[in-house]
Amino acid sequence: MDSEHTKIPQATAKRLPLYYRFLNNLHGQGKLRVSSKELSEAVKVDSATIRRDFSYFGALGKKGYGYNVEYLLSFFRKTLDQDETTKVALIGVGNLGTAFLNYNFTKNNNTKIEVAFDANHDRIGEEVGGVPVQHIDDLEKHMDGIGVAILTVPATAAQGIADRLVEAGISGVLNFTPARITVPSNVRVHHIDLAIELQALVYFLKHYPLNEED
Ligand SMILES: NC(=O)c1ccc[n+]([C@@H]2O[C@H](COP(=O)([O-])OP(=O)(O)OC[C@H]3O[C@@H](n4cnc5c(N)ncnc54)[C@H](O)[C@@H]3O)[C@@H](O)[C@H]2O)c1
């Protein structure tokens, strides 16, 4: 029984995965402490909000000291793990989709790809990474309990499939296609454009070079 976690406001809880990812990176780099200013710049949340959020976790940064990365990470892990597993569907079992299915998302995460869809009849009935592939025409038959979808179809197919996913009651879409899809305001879409990410990395390397001692 962990009653203190239930007191976290929803808005704070929504920022947890953001904090978690950044802190995990810092931890991987061997950093022990992080200031709210550093965090604020990285996750684009103002530092007053971060300080308030962290006060719910009992993590009080000491002046000029910052927060203990290890402590925050272990707290986040516990809190995020309390959530039930989100069931995910993947649409488009091509190059990218196949790679995702073979990658075990459940390792550190409370998400699980339960079902995959493709338009290519040769792929139907197959299991890729232990996930059954169904025909896209049968999408609606297999969407029970699925909250999130990963889109790895050609850009031209993205909007039509997004419309059907919304109709089927999805609440989030992770869109890997270059298409900018339109959904109702109660559905969250995250676009992941690898070309933009790569450009951003090159930009940062040029304008914010890392010092060796960092
Ligand atoms: N491969 C990459 O590295 C990469 C990187 C970034 C973004 N993307 C984007 O991700 C998407 C997928 O790329 P890919 O390389 O895996 O392509 P791909 O052609 O290998 O795979 C697309 C898959 O979608 C299926 N498909 C086509 N129409 C469909 C429909 N209406 N319903 C269901 N399935 C359908 C195809 O049968 C195929 O298996 C593209 O939009 C691409 O621009 C790919």
For 95-115, write each residue's pLDDT tens digit.
Answer: 999 999 998 666 556 788 999
Query: Which of these three, 33, 52, 79, is where a domain ends?
Result: 79
Query: Which of these three, 79, 114, 137, is where a domain ends?
Result: 79
Contact 113, 90 (CB under 8 A): yes
Report the atom number in ligand 1 closest to the C-alpha of 154.
41
Does the beta carbon of 95 lie inside 6 Å of ligand 1?
yes
For 45-76, write each residue's pLDDT tens digit.
Answer: 998 898 888 888 776 666 667 888 988 888 88
Is 118 found in the same domain as 68? no
Is 186 found in the same domain as 98? yes
Mean pLDDT for 82-93 is 86
Is 180 found in the same domain as 123? yes
How does residue 140 score in pLDDT terms, banded at 50, 70 and 90?
Answer: very high
Say how many Å lie between the CA of residue 154 and the centre of ligand 1: 4
Question: What tokens were used for 169?
Answer: 């009651």
Is 102 found in the same domain as 71? no
Domain of 18 in residue numbering reads as 3-79
Name the residue of 153, 175, 193 whose CB sits within 8 Å of the most ligand 1 atoms, as the mutation to test its pocket: 153
Is 54 found in the same domain as 136? no
pLDDT at 9 over 60: yes
User: How many structural domains are present in the chain?
Assistant: 2
ipTM of the shown complex: 0.97
What pTM does this model have? 0.72
